A and B are shown apart, each in its own frame.
Chain A
């Protein structure tokens, strides 16, 4: 490595950005097809969001999976079958570390290196500038393709609430364990999985707890009988039957002041929390509407009520960020939303792809796996048979958006990348069949 910028030509090698779950499976599947891979990771270890040691990791001490093992694990590297159905986040990290070691991926990862710029070099190749996070060294390398796997759950979004609040406000990203909730009055804003996890911990530790949600969601349990609910939901049968099974499991919480959902259960990914309904019914959690403004010690709600929490936790999500490239490369609109074919392929740049930028109603790892298999085969075809690649691209451009993307979902940032994992995988499967025979 040199201190002065130096253009190193890496030939046909592919640059992978990030060594979290999506980056790891991208390295593995690209290597499996014979590509040389350099992966750059700003942290000093693998695991991305699932590595609680990382500054940007959103996990807290109590985080468990909300999807069960079979719907969460990589399809070619199962989690140990004696693990719990919904493992703790530390086990997910252990799993990712074992995956990296098992497939010898760590030899291809440069730790403590941050990608600061990705620029087209003409001819479909890319100049990637990498900085050492320790400061000092910087270098430029040229790659045949770039696969972005930088995650989308690390840049917190906080609601803009007018007025001044004299208490404490933190984002869920900064919430690590329940000790800071003990004996305090806590308001949790946000009805997603994170908000629900935190509000349940607050119910167990805090003096008084309010839960503010803007709209209604479907709150499903983790188990139906003795089976994980998502496994029951995937039993064979017509869609209406599966829908009915699901509806029977979800709680109707309107009696406790929770707004009723305005969408069908299939239209947004489920919130899975079996404890939330219990604590609402016990009166430990008070459901409240949206916050309208802060006023000194008080928080004013849209129904005019005033409450006085010590601590406000905003579990209001994250935004995807691609600071290292020009927004038009990924067709990013003014709100920051990229427009990619299958949420993966840059529409105008055949050698630029993003892996893991989806929000499925099941685990993300299987989708990231099949996405990266498709990316690897596509890059191989693009390199070896440009004519057939163009034909595949033409066929793909005819694919109706509705076949893989949920467009009817609630139009907020949280749902930008929402997909039904079965529809989505079916689409990826048909793309893979178009790429059949690519070795």
Chain B
């Protein structure tokens, strides 16, 4: 596919849609680039609003989380991310989690981000499916036939997440994965050559360690690892650790 001749976008542009954006702004504008968080399958901007957005704003970065249109395909979701990014006053840093990282990877081909962070990225749907079948066969098999994907607490969260909290989060997470997730489409070359960081946990039961390494290698680096954590790094009790490391990396790169 040509990145220059965009017949699909010229002839059939993605129609506009309502997009939910949650924002937390720092008290004083220090001229830092805004961070735009992109959730993955089954959760929305709320997962970032819980802890990360406030923390990021407290450290002086404008923080936003977009929930792409429900039911949108990868193209529509990447469109939503680029639309929100372009509406921000300054060049944004894109941060995607899970399948949201795949949306970010696609958006990077269309928008010159200031930097990008892929957190526990599901870039390779087959690896994620394999991992899901291993850790939660009963919840995964029905989804293969088009049913709802049912996650288990053990699958998504690290051992140190209190049971009640995990159950509460689990109730808000529901996903009907789209077939296109399981393609291995080539990820576009990021435009404008932004620095890209991959972060995750070696104990993540959704994204295997090898997939993290592959994702990081794709963008020319090694993953930043947070052992002991589950897939939802932003909802775990030690949520501050990864986001602080990401912000430190950003300050170094900017």
Interface residues of A (CB under 8 A from B): 32, 69-71, 75-78, 80-82, 98, 101-104, 230-232, 234-236, 362, 370, 422, 425-426, 428-429, 432, 439
Contact = CB atoms under 8 A, between A and B. Distances in A.
A80 B83 contact: yes
A76 B4 contact: no
Contacts of A32: 112, 192-193
The 7 A-B pairs with the shortest beta carbon distances in the complex, nearest first, are: A81-B16, A234-B10, A234-B11, A70-B13, A235-B11, A429-B4, A82-B16
- Most chain A Cβ neighbours within 10 Å, of B15, B110, B112: B112
A104 B112 CA distance: 13
Given A81-B83, A429-B2, A232 B11 contact: yes
B192 A78 contact: no
A362 B9 CA distance: 14
A370 B90 CA distance: 22
A147 B243 CA distance: 42
Given A103-B91, A231-B13, A236-B11, A78 B193 contact: no
Contact of B10 (A71, A104, A432): A71
Contacts of A70: 6, 9-10, 13
12 contacts: A32-B193, A69-B13, A75-B4, A76-B192, A78-B83, A81-B13, A81-B16, A103-B91, A234-B10, A236-B11, A429-B2, A439-B193
B14 interface: yes
A81 B112 contact: no
B5 A425 contact: yes
Contacts of A432: 4
Given A78-B82, A81-B83, 5 more contacts: A76-B191, A77-B86, A102-B86, A234-B10, A425-B4
A236 B7 contact: yes
Interface in B82-132: 82-83, 86-91, 110-112
A71 B6 CA distance: 9
Contacts of A230: 10
Interface residues of B, number: 28
B188 to A, nearest CB: 12
Interface in B1-32: 2, 4-7, 9-16
A231 B9 CA distance: 9
Interface string B57-97: 00000000000000000000001001100111111000000
Given A81-B79, A234-B11, A429 B87 contact: no
A24 to B, nearest CB: 14
Nearest to B2: A429
Contact of B110 (A71, A76, A101, A231): A76
Contacts of A77: 86, 111
Contact of B91 (A69, A102, A235, A370): A102
A120 B192 CA distance: 31
B85 to A, nearest CB: 9
B238 to A, nearest CB: 35
A102 B89 contact: yes
A237 to B, nearest CB: 10
Given A81-B14, A231-B13, A102 B7 contact: no
A50 B7 CA distance: 27
A425 B2 CA distance: 10
Contacts of A425: 4-5
Given A76-B112, A78-B83, A102-B86, A370 B4 contact: yes
A77 B110 CA distance: 8
A358 to B, nearest CB: 15
A246 to B, nearest CB: 13
Contacts of A103: 91, 112
A81 B15 contact: yes
A231 B11 contact: yes
A369 B129 CA distance: 40
A98 B9 CA distance: 22
A244 B86 CA distance: 37
A80 B13 CA distance: 12
A102 B83 contact: no
Contacts of B110: 75-76
Given A32-B112, A80-B87, A231-B11, A75 B6 contact: yes
A425 B4 CA distance: 7
A233 to B, nearest CB: 8
A102 B91 CA distance: 5
